[in-house]
């Protein structure tokens, strides 16, 4: 490659990066700008909208609830998906495609169709078991399946699952120990990826919560915006930034742990 071509390529990269950055940052910057406006045309900048977040009770509970949902959904997802995928790979490899198909299906069904289908079930749950919003985790579990599956699938493909589990079994480990002591420690990146993707999806979810009459973070932002536009935008910015931070952790941790796997196309 000649020198001038390399410089041009660099320039092109920079332009694309700048455009992409602008695409994401300008709206957030605008939101931030809006959330710090004072009342009246020429009034000074103020953080009163931000300061109002903790003192708006709906918001405070909604934030807590959404974080709890994110955590529970991630744990449920790992508890359900990881053992299933390991078992299918080891014992029922023919089912691999079917499991993949099932896990990816939620991507192809619009959220609104899922909600309509799931609504009677949730009415029954709230009447007979619990009206806690945390029951939403089960619906969210379905939503996060495609992303979590992809990530865990890549992690499992990178280790010699069969040999490692057989070695552990022959040394006296039961299946639970095999999972916790051998499988999980050897795919930290994949598990982190799956969890963070699930968490950020749950934090941004609106359709399910709203149509099933639960008040999660996004629904609360919507309500608050009716009363105080500034505060609702401030929360929206904060939750976006939080998701960004999660994704940054993901990509940095991923990049650091990936060094081990050779054989990728350059």
Are 209 and 222 spatial neighbours (Cβ–Cβ below 8 Å)? no
Toward other proteins, which CB reaches closer, 7 or 167?
A: 167
Minimum CB separation of residue 266 from other proteins in Å reads 21
Toward other proteins, which CB reaches closer, 103 or 161?
A: 161
Toward other proteins, which CB reaches closer, 115 or 184?
A: 184
Minimum CB separation of residue 164 from other proteins in Å reads 6
> Which residue pairs from 181-189 have beta carbons closer than 8 angstroms and sit at least 24 positions apart in sequence?
183/82, 183/86, 183/159, 184/82, 186/159, 187/152, 187/155, 187/156, 187/158, 187/159, 188/253, 188/257, 189/155, 189/253, 189/254, 189/257, 189/258
Minimum CB separation of residue 75 from other proteins in Å reads 22
Toward other proteins, which CB reaches closer, 28 or 173?
A: 173
Q: Which residues of 248-261 are buried (b: 16+ CB within 10 A; e: fewer)?
A: eebeeebeeeeeee
Minimum CB separation of residue 99 from other proteins in Å reads 21
What is the contact surface with other proteins in residues (CB under 8 A)? 159-160, 163-164, 166-174, 177, 181-182, 185-186, 260
């Amino acid at each position: 490659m000649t020198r001038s071509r390399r410089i041009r390529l660099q320039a092109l990269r920079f332009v694309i990066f700048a455009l992409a950055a602008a695409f994401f940052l300008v709206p957030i910057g605008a939101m931030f700008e809006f959330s710090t406006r004072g009342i009246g045309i020429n009034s000074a900048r103020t953080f009163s909208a931000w300061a109002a977040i903790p003192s708006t009770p709906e918001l405070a509970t909604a934030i807590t609830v959404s974080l709890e949902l994110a955590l529970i959904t991630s744990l449920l997802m790992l508890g359900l998906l990881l053992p299933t995928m390991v078992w299918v790979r080891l014992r029922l490899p023919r089912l691999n495609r079917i499991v993949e198909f099932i896990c990816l299906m939620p991507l192809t069904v619009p959220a609104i169709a899922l909600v309509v289908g799931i609504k009677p079930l949730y009415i029954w749950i709230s009447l007979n078991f619990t009206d806690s919003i945390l029951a939403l985790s089960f619906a969210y579990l379905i939503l996060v399946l495609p992303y979590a599956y992809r990530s865990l699938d890549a992690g499992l493909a990178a280790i010699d699952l069969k040999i490692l589990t057989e070695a552990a079994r022959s040394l006296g480990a039961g299946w639970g120990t095999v999972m916790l002591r051998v499988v999980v420690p050897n795919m930290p990146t994949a598990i982190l990826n799956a969890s963070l993707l699930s968490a950020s999806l749950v934090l941004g979810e609106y359709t399910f919560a709203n149509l099933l009459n639960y008040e999660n973070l996004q629904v609360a932002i919507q309500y608050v915006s009716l009363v105080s536009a500034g505060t609702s935008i401030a929360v929206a910015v904060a939750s976006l930034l939080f998701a960004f931070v999660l994704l940054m952790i993901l990509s940095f941790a991923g990049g650091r742990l990936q060094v081990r796997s050779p054989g990728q196309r350059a």
